[in-house]
Amino acid sequence: MTSVIEKRQSLHRELAEEQCRNRKLAEAIERLEPLANLGSATAMIAHEINNLLTPLSNYAKLALASPEDKVLREKALAKTAQNCERAGKIMESILALANGQEQERQEAPLPGLLDELFLCLSRDFKKDGITVQIEIPAGLTVYCVAVQIQQVLMNLILNARDAMVGRGGHLTIKAEQTSDAVQIRVSDTGHGIASGDLKDIFDSFFTTKKDGDSSSRPGRGVGLSFCRKVIEAHNGTISAESRPNEGTTFLITLPRQH
């Protein structure tokens, strides 16, 4: 009898110690969370600023190499002004996203967002044998933090281009309004995603673009995890379908404003 009581007391002691350890671990995790958020915000900011700086550097080099080309010089300056402004906005916006702050959303015209975005990109798609088709009803708007959704689309477009560089293909961007949401599809006819990789592509730091890979620039695996974070903050969804060697389609669904 005594031994049963002793055993029970010892179990109670162990349980109390375990609960104390769990509480301490939970407190430690809570203390580390802002740091982890800061880490992922830093990676996302660096990634998006890089997306905006690459075209600037390319245009500046071209303009410096042809000092007599006034049109090119003005184009380079216009891009510099435009992308610097976007870089400032996106930095603030990502920090707010990482801190879980509510950001003001507005109805933004999707065709206009895409026009602006294509102006920010450096390389002409035609030079890589890629045709671009945009099928969006005029006047279609999305309820969003515009600068964030533009960066999401930029990431999908850059990934699509990476998948088609060296082989050419078609990039199609379609959008339609359903009763309660806007659906945006970004499709390419690139090399596609291996079926085993599809479940991992939205994970932070998952990339198949290695240094020294001639078909595309090296990747960091930040683009799609950024996209998912933004779309989830908009209460939307993002998913991908792909067929190796045939192409990939990303589907974004963004709820309408209630």
Ligand X SMILES: Nc1ncnc2c1ncn2[C@@H]1O[C@H](COP(=O)(O)OP(=O)(O)OP(=O)(O)O)[C@@H](O)[C@H]1O
Q: Which of residues 189-208 bind ligand X (CB under 6 A)?
A: 190-193, 197, 201, 206-208
Contact of residue 149 among ligand X, Mg ion, none (CB under 5-8 Å per partner type): none
Q: Which of 83, 151, 159, 216 touches Mg ion (CB under 5 A)?
A: 159
Span 223-252, contacts to Mg ion by CB under 5 A: 223
Question: Which one of the spans 3-11, 95-103, 166-174, 216-224 is the region binding ligand X (CB under 6 A)?
Answer: 216-224
Establish if 223 lies at the interface with ligand X (CB under 6 A). Answer: yes
User: Interface with Mg ion by CB under 5 A: which range of 2-10, 24-32, 84-92, 216-224?
Assistant: 216-224
Residue span binding Mg ion (CB under 5 A) among the ranges 81-89, 96-104, 113-121, 157-165: 157-165
Residues 145-174 vs ligand X: string with x where CB under 6 A? Answer: ----------x---xx--x-----------
The tokens describing 131, both together, are 């045709």
d(CA 141, CA 58): 32
Q: CB atoms < 10 A from the CB of 58, how many? A: 15
Residue 243 near residue 193 (C-beta atoms within 8 A): no
**Residue 220: Cβ within 10 Å count:** 15
Q: Which of 41, 146, 153, 224 binds ligand X (CB under 6 A)?
A: 224
CB 136 within 8 A of CB 174: yes
Q: How far is the CB of 219 from ligand X (least distance, A)?
A: 2
Question: Max Cα separation, the chain?
Answer: 100
How many residues contact Mg ion, by CB under 5 A? 2
Contact 186, 160 (CB under 8 A): yes
What's the number of CA atoms in the CB half-sphere (13 Å) around residue 234? Answer: 29
- Which of ligand X, Mg ion, none does residue 248 bind (CB under 5 to 8 Å by kind)? ligand X
Tell me the DSSP string of 120-144: H--S-GGGGTEEEEEE--TT-EEEE
List, in order, residues 6 or more apart from 220 with CB less than 8 Å away. 43, 47, 205, 207
Task: Restricting to residues 32-51, name those near ligand X by CB under 6 A.
Answer: 47
Q: Which does 208 bind (CB under 5 to 8 A by kind): Mg ion, ligand X, none?
A: ligand X
Residues β-bridged to residue 187 = 172, 249
- Going by C-alpha positions, the residue among 44, 76, 57, 96 that lies closest to residue 222 is 44
Q: Which residues bind ligand X (CB under 6 A)?
A: 47, 155, 159-160, 163, 188, 190-193, 197, 201, 206-209, 219-225, 248
Q: Which residues bind Mg ion (CB under 5 A)?
A: 159, 223
